[in-house]
Amino acid sequence: MKSISFITTVFTVSLFIPANAQNTNRSRPASNETVMFIFMDMDNNGDKKISFDEAQGQLKSSFNRNDTNKDGYLTQNELQALADRLSAGRNRNAGASRDTPPATGSTMSTKDLLEMTPQGVTVVPDIAYREGHDAWKLDLAMPSQSSDTPRPAIIYIHGGGWTKGDKRGQGIATVLGYATKGFVSLSVNYRLDADKKACIEDVKCATRWLRAHAKEYNVDPDRIGAAGNSAGAHLALMLAICPLSAGLEGDGPYQQYSSGVQAAHCSSTPAKPNYRTREGDSTDYSNIQAMTYISADTPPLYFIHGLNDTQKAPIQFLEAFVDALAEAGAKDVTYKRYDDAGHGVYVQHIDEARPAREAFLIRTLMN
């Protein structure tokens, strides 16, 4: 990998560009994009297949049944066939079971979630972090084994342009995976088809809820991080940089607790939402844009972005933000840019991006 430093002194920022960059984008499964992320999380040795020893949870107990060619491994195609069977079964029983996904766009039932939960992990599904709206819910995963010391926590926020997506979408495998590594891990829903200010208020409320219940779930309130992709990256970033004075706490409960996080990993980040406005729109959107909150006291941040991301999350706004942080004296910001990628950069470079994200969160929250 070629590394080009473009910020000097104490600011730990580098541009990372693969020396032999080429497009390695993988096609997503048509019926369930979560399959690819499960596959990547369990494929520990990177050989593009899952052995019996690598399989976790219900996938291990049903290994022989799903290994249709009986070669001793599960391939991505075999996992996709499993996902298709599960999806078909849900469709046949639609409306007949309380385990069917709700009308909010959930991609996975509670039954399916529990079936894919790895051994050694306890899941608490559909916790209401606030009453009054179906979107104000989260899924929590944590190590089953008790710990004498509080654990670090990670709040994962799904993307989808602030108008779609679900806590059991592509990020749920990541949430379960971090629970196997000693984190208390959350996947959070928030109001969709709402303005971005409401989305920020919701994830802030979920973070305050976590601190209010830190003892119950054995969480260290001083070691909470956030992660997300696309719109989820914007919301994770706002948890890290947005001060109380911004007026984005909303009217939700637990106001006596902080909604800030100690680290954030953000991929394909829209650093300047609403940079294009309709004619006649005089609304000031600066309070939802990253550049408003430049500070030397910014907690550790990690960005991954594609050079060709010019529409959904224009790269020039993120790079301007990173430069401004450097000038302000922020000390722990990492920026990785791939010149062969667009908005799907994390998936396109998942073999490198996933372990790098894990190392960052372990360094900043666990170590």
Query: 218-244 pLDDT, tens per residue?
Result: 999 999 999 999 999 999 999 999 999
Residue 27 has pLDDT above 80, yes or no: no
Residue whose C-alpha is closest to residue 162's, from 250, 249, 229: 229
Average pLDDT of the chain, as a whole number = 85
For the chain, the 3-state helix, strand and coil shares in percent, each to the nearest 5, are 35, 20, 50
DSSP lists the bridge partners of residue 265 as: 227, 302
Q: How confident is the model at residue 34 (pLDDT cuts 50, 70, 90)?
A: low
Query: 243-269 pLDDT, tens per residue?
Result: 999 999 999 999 999 999 999 999 999
- CB distance 255 to 247 below 8 Å: no
Q: Which domains does the chain have, with CATH numbers?
A: 2-27+108-366 (3.40.50.1820), 31-96 (1.10.238.10)
Residue 99 has pLDDT above 60, yes or no: no
The pLDDT of residue 2 is 28
Phi-psi label, residue 4: left if phi above 0, alpha if psi -120 to 50, beta otherwise: beta
CB atoms within 10 A of CB 296: 10
Helix (H, G, I), strand (E, B) or coil at 127: strand
Lowest mean pLDDT among 8-17, 37-46, 199-208, 314-323: 8-17
Q: Is the pTM of this model over 0.85?
A: no
| Higher-pLDDT residue of 23, 48 | 48
| Higher-pLDDT residue of 54, 358 | 358
Torsion of CA 128, 130, 134, 136, to 10 degrees: -80
Q: Which two tokens stand for residue 313?
A: 């999350």
Lowest mean pLDDT among 112-116, 148-152, 294-298: 112-116
- CB distance 251 to 205 below 8 Å: no
Residue whose C-alpha is closest to residue 252's, from 207, 213, 192, 194: 207
Stated as kind and residue range, the H or E segment containing 31 is none
The pLDDT of residue 88 is 56
Mean pLDDT of 193-206: 95
- CB distance 165 to 231 below 8 Å: yes
The pLDDT of residue 36 is 59
Mean pLDDT of 83-101: 48
Query: 267: burial class by Cβ within 10 Å (0-12, 13-18, 19+)?
Result: buried
The pLDDT of residue 219 is 98
Look at the block and give the residue holding tokens 């494929």. 43
